[in-house]
A = this chain, B = another copy of it.
Amino acid sequence: MAEYPTALGASTRDTITLLGHDLARDVMGEVGFGELAFWLATQRRPSKGETRVFEAVLAALADHGFTPTAITARLTYLSAPDSVQGALAAGLLGGGSRFLGVTEDCGRFLHARLDGRQLPADDDGWDAIALEVVAAQREAKRFIPGLGHHVHKDGDPRTPRLFQIAHEENLEGPHLKLFAAIGRVHPRVLGKTLPLNGAGVCGAALADLGLPMELLRGFALLARTAGLIGHLAEELRNPVANEIFLSVDLNNVSVPPGGTHG
């Protein structure tokens, strides 16, 4: 007979444990939600500093107003108000490569560049690696994930703040250091200055926290779940989804089939 091991939730008639601890006594009322999410993902309890950096990342990614994911969640709630789970799930499904993917892409990109490399002792050493990395991307005609922002052209305010928090908590690891160095050196290679964006710095920070690379996008989605609940709550107070729907539907133009092919 197959057996299925897990270190997460378990219960008997009298007890409930989570991660090997008594849920009621040791977790409820004792462990914050960000701390718990980190613990569930890594199966090790984070320090206060790690929790602060992690929660700062979640705050940075929780909501950006009327993104496609927020519009989608609101429209789905309009169509199927009986299914809150469907509205949240539909919103999360937009969390793919384009709109929420930068966090994961940047974390993985930095991780791959650091793999097997001797870590330098000072900023000059990091700059040397960063120059090599930026030049290689340029050579390959590829963008550097996390570099550039279509709105915050002079700098994304989340970036220096997250560096500062990581610094305060003594948690600036190699991913953040390489990302900072890319920010310093890229103008020398690319001939223009681009901002390090907030989604990217979040990916670097999550990677430095030792979270699994394969799930970096998952933390952006966790943050976004809170944001989407905010949108549904606002939709209850002050609905706009029907107006969004009508703004599209009433401006539809019927065209003959078989037109331009992309």
Contacts and interface: CB of A to CB of B under 8 A. Distances in A.
A185 interface: no
B5 A252 contact: yes
B83 A75 contact: no
A4 B56 contact: no
Interface stretch (A136-144, A174-182, A242-250): A242-250
A18 B76 contact: no
A101 B81 CA distance: 11
A7 B84 contact: no
Question: Which of A33, A42, A222 has its CB near the most chain B CB atoms (within 10 A)?
Answer: A33
A63 B9 contact: yes
Interface in A9-42: 9-20, 22-25, 27-29, 31-34, 36-37, 40-42
Nearest to A227: B40
Interface residues of A, number: 138
Nearest to A243: B2
A5 B238 contact: yes
B218 A237 contact: no
Contact of A6 (B1, B23, B255): B255
Given A3-B253, A259-B237, A33 B28 contact: no
A104 B13 CA distance: 24
B221 A18 contact: no
A2 B253 CA distance: 10
Q: How many copies make up the complex? A: 4
A120 interface: no
Contacts of A161: 24-25, 28-29
Contact of A243 (B4, B13, B16, B225): B4
A97 B68 contact: no
A135 interface: no
A133 interface: no
A115 interface: no
Given A7-B254, A90-B94, A99 B72 contact: no
26 contacts: A1-B1, A4-B244, A6-B65, A6-B231, A8-B227, A8-B230, A8-B234, A9-B227, A11-B64, A14-B152, A14-B154, A17-B254, A18-B59, A23-B158, A33-B34, A41-B226, A65-B249, A66-B245, A85-B86, A85-B95, A89-B93, A92-B92, A225-B225, A238-B260, A238-B262, A239-B262
10 closest A-B pairs by beta carbon, nearest first, are: A80-B96, A40-B230, A79-B94, A33-B34, A89-B89, A43-B257, A24-B161, A9-B63, A37-B226, A7-B257
